[in-house]
Amino acid sequence: MRIIMLGAPGAGKGTQAKLISERYGIPHISTGDIFRSNIKNGTELGKKAKTYMDQGQLVPDELTCDLVVDRIAQDDAKDGYVLDGFPRTIPQAEALKHALEGRGESVDFAIDVDVPDENIIKRMSGRRACVSCGATYHVVYNPPKKEGVCDVCGSGLILRDDDKPETVKKRLDVYHSQTQPLIDYYQKDGVLKEVDGTQEIDTIFSQIQKLLG
């Protein structure tokens, strides 16, 4: 079962990808993890990626796809995988399709976790992070016992720059221009499935399980 997770930043696709991975015994593969692993292990692809990242540049589509294909060729992914954060653009989707065809494979499901922008802005701007231990909270869904103070270590909590409404809005704009077209792309391929991401985590996962059959 080869699955791609789609959805805006903050839609909860990473959470669902982890649940799918645990339930079906297939690896949860995120591009961030792949980059970190290859850089840490000093692989040729990792060295190439690092040169771009060190300059604050995006890793080119072709190299990102090479890293992903290298990862999905590993033994633990022989029965499938769930891709989280890739592809992000149509050229990446085309490169992945081409690479999979070369292996006699194709994507089985592209699951779009659909959440309206206003919900995402509200959800992300309510996040709080501990400056010391990194524990995360939410002012509505997962508040600390004492406002502004970490339950774990007692340090102060902050609203990260990434979670500020104006930053979230910019990230959503990028998503709509670059990544949203993937929804049409996978719909044409007949593999797109949509779930309502405004529901409880368990409810969303139950729906995904029904879709996967």
Q: Measured in Å, how far apart are the chain's first and last C-alpha atoms?
A: 11
Smallest CA-to-CA distance from 165 within 114, 118, 115, 113 is with 118
Q: How far apart are CA 14 and CA 121, in angstroms?
A: 17
Strands in 127-130's sheet, in edge-to-edge order, are 136-138, 127-130, 157-158
Q: Has residue 208 been placed in a domain?
A: yes
* pLDDT number for residue 134: 86
- Segment 59-78 shows an average pLDDT of 91
The residues that are catalytic are: 13, 88, 127, 160, 171
Q: Has residue 13 been placed in a domain?
A: yes
Structural domain span for residue 197 = 2-117+167-212
Best mean pLDDT range from 7-16, 60-69, 185-194: 185-194
Q: Has residue 50 been placed in a domain?
A: yes
Q: Has residue 23 been placed in a domain?
A: yes
Tokens of 135: 């524990």
Lowest pLDDT segment from 52-66, 98-112, 127-141: 52-66
Q: Has residue 42 been placed in a domain?
A: yes
Read off the CATH number of the domain in which 193 is found: 3.40.50.300
Q: Has residue 142 been placed in a domain?
A: no
- Residue 100 one-letter amino acid: L
Q: Distance of alpha carbon 127 from its chain centroid, rounded?
A: 18
Q: How many CB atoms lie within 10 A of CB 173?
A: 11
Mean pLDDT of the chain: 93
Instruction: Determine whether 75 is exposed, middle or buried from the number of CB atoms within 10 Å of its CB (0-12, 13-18, 19+).
Output: exposed
Instruction: Give the chain's domain count.
Output: 1
Q: Has residue 152 been placed in a domain?
A: no
The secondary structure element, H or E, covering residue 125 is helix 117-125
Q: Has residue 48 been placed in a domain?
A: yes
